[in-house]
Amino acid sequence: MTASATAPLGRETPAAVEIDRGAPSIEDVVAIARHGARVQLAPASLEAMAASRAVIEQLADDTRPHYGVSTGFGALATKHIPFESRAQLQRSLVRSHAASSGAEVEREVVRALMTLRLSTLATGRTGVRPVVAETYAALLNAGITPVVGEYGSLGCSGDLAPLAHCALAVMGEGEVRDADGELASASMALAAAGIEPVVLHEKEGLALINGTDGMLGMLALAIVDLRRLITTADLAAALSVEGLRGTDAVFAEDLQALRPHPGQSASAANLRAVLAGSPLIGAHRETGFTRVQDAYSLRCAPQVHGAVRDTLAHAELVAGRELASAIDNPVVTLDGRLESNGNFHGAPVGYVLDFLAIAAADLASMSERRTDRFLDASRSGGLTPFLADDPGVDSGHMIAQYTQAGIVSELKRLAVPASVDSIPTSAMQEDHVSMGWSAARKLRRAVDGLTRVVAIEILTAARGIDLRDAEPAPATGAVVARLREVVPPPGIDRYLAPEIAAAVALVEGGELLDAAQAAAGPLA
C-alpha cells in the first residue's frame, strides 16, 4: 500500500500499511508517521525474523567473539561478556545510549523513526525475535510515542540516542506521550494499552539503535512536503507574473526544450497551464511587451524551480535506496553469517538533506525577490507603493516582505552543510561521523520557512492582481477566490499577521493547489 500526506497528489491515506521484507515507500512512512495509519507485519517478515534469530542463538555458546552478542560496544568491542551478563548488556546499552537532550522532537519524526526501525527488523537481517518487532508495531498502533530530545545523534553508528529512547520505551522504561499527547511513564502507558514490555536478548538492544532511521524519516517527511511546495512555488510565480503584467512567452515549450532538464520542463508546463487564458497576459500579444524582457525572478522561474525539482528527484532516489536497505551492525547475511559492516554511516542521506536545504533557500530567495517587485512602484508596473490603499497613511505589504527577508536570511544560514563536519567519538573508534541527523533537523526548519515565504508571495501577488481590477486567468482567479474566503480583498491597513497565517495554512494544506488544479487540470 502507499499513501500521501498531501491532498494535491490525489491519493488517499490508507487505514493500514503492511510492513514486509521489501522496501516501504515514502508514502507508507508518512502515512504511519503523520497520519496515524496502522501497522501490520507480513507473515513472511515474521518468518524471516525467526530464521535469523536462530542464527544468533546458535552463536550464543560460540567461543569466538561476536560483536553485539558476546562483546561490548564501540571502543569496548574487545571486552568479552560472559553468557550470564548478556541480557544485562543489552539493557545497559539501551539505558546508557538514551542520552538525548534539548527540545522534544516532533511526534511525526519519532513515529517515522520507529516505522523505519521496524522496517529494518522486518527484513530478517538483524537477528531480533519477532516479538520485538510486534511490540514496536503495537506501540505505533496504540499512538504511544517515546520522548526524544533534539540532540544526541551524530548520524553514525545509527541515530543512537533517538533510537535508544524508542528501545527504552519498548522495555517499559523512560517517558512517552500517549495517544492524547499526555506525558506518561512508559510502564504506565504500555500497561494501559495492554502491551507487555520486552526483555531484550542477545544482540537485540544493539539491533534497535543501529540505523539511519531518524534522518531518513525526516527526509521522507521533507520530500512529501517539498513536492507540494515546489508546485506551489510554480503557482506563486505564475500569480506574480500575472500581477506584475509580465509575459508568458518565455515559458514556451520549444524554448524550454532547448535546455532539456526535466524539472525545468515540468515547472514551465505548470506556469503555462496556470496562466492560460489570462487577459492580463494576453494583452501583450496585441499591444506588444514594452519591457522587452522580464526580470530574472520572473523569466528564470522554470530554471530555478526546475533545478529544485531535479534536486528533489535525486533525494528521492537516495531515499528509495535507503528504504530498501537493512541497516544494522553486525548483520545476519542471507547465507546465515553474522558480519560486521559500516552500512550505518549516514553520509548518503546527510548529503541530500543538505542539498535540499540549499535548494529550499534558493527557491525562497527567488520568491522573496518577486514579492519585492510588487512593493516598489518603480518596478511594479503602475501599482501603488507597497500595494498600500493610501501610501504614507497605509504601509500595505511593506513589512510582510520584511518577514520574508528575515526568513530567507535564516534559510541561507540553514543551507550551510552539516555533513561536512565530523567530531570523533568513542575513544576514536568512531572517528568519522555524518552529522546527518543535524542536517535533517535544519531541513525541517528550512521547509517551514519556505512554506511561509511562498505563502507571503501568494498573498502579495493576489493583492496585486486585485488592484489591477482586470480579469485574471481561470486558474489564478480560482486561487485568489479561495484565498479571499479567509483573507479580505485590498483595503486600508489591517492586522496582517492573521492573514499571513491563513495563507500559510492554505499552502500547507494544499488547498490553493487544489483550487488551481480544479481550473487548470493536474499540475506536475
Does residue 280 contact residue 247 with C-beta atoms inside 8 Å? Answer: no
Closest CA to 100 of 155, 178, 25, 161: 161
Which residue out of 67, 151, 296, 495 is catalytically annotated? Answer: 67
Which is the CATH superfamily of the domain at 218-318+357-520? Answer: Fumarase/aspartase (Central domain) (1.20.200.10)
- Give the span between the Cα atoms of 172 and 184, in whole angstroms: 11
Q: What is the pLDDT of residue 4?
A: 33
Concatenated DSSP letters for 214-261? HHHHHHHHHHHHHHHHHHHHHHHHHHHHHHTT--SGGG-HHHHTTS--
Q: What is the pLDDT of residue 9?
A: 40
B/e letters for 298-314, b = 16+ CB within 10 Å, e = fewer, are bbbbbbbbbbbbbbbee
Q: What is the pLDDT of residue 163?
A: 97
Q: Which three cell numbers stand for residue 32?
A: 504511519
CATH of domain 7-211: 1.10.275.10
Q: What is the pLDDT of residue 76?
A: 67
Cα angle, residue 50 at apex, residues 46 and 51 outer, rounded to 5°: 120
- Give the span between the Cα atoms of 246 and 150, in whole angstroms: 45
Q: What is the pLDDT of residue 1?
A: 30
Give the pTM: 0.94
- Give the span between the Cα atoms of 51 and 464, in whole angstroms: 65
Q: What is the pLDDT of residue 276?
A: 97
- Give the span between the Cα atoms of 236 and 223, in whole angstroms: 19
- Give the span between the Cα atoms of 513 and 142, in whole angstroms: 33
Q: What is the pLDDT of residue 66?
A: 76
Closest CA to 217 of 322, 341, 361, 344: 322
Q: Is 351 labeled as catalytic in the residue annotation? A: no
So where are the chain's domains? 7-211, 218-318+357-520
- Give the span between the Cα atoms of 148 and 161, in whole angstroms: 8
What is the DSSP pairing of strand 183-185 with strand 149-151?
Answer: unpaired
Mean per-residue pLDDT pooled into runs of 10, the chain (524 residues): 35 81 92 96 96 90 74 68 79 95 98 97 95 98 98 91 98 98 98 97 93 96 98 98 95 98 98 96 72 92 98 98 93 92 93 98 98 97 97 97 98 97 85 93 98 98 95 97 98 98 98 98 98
Q: What is the pLDDT of residue 81?
A: 73
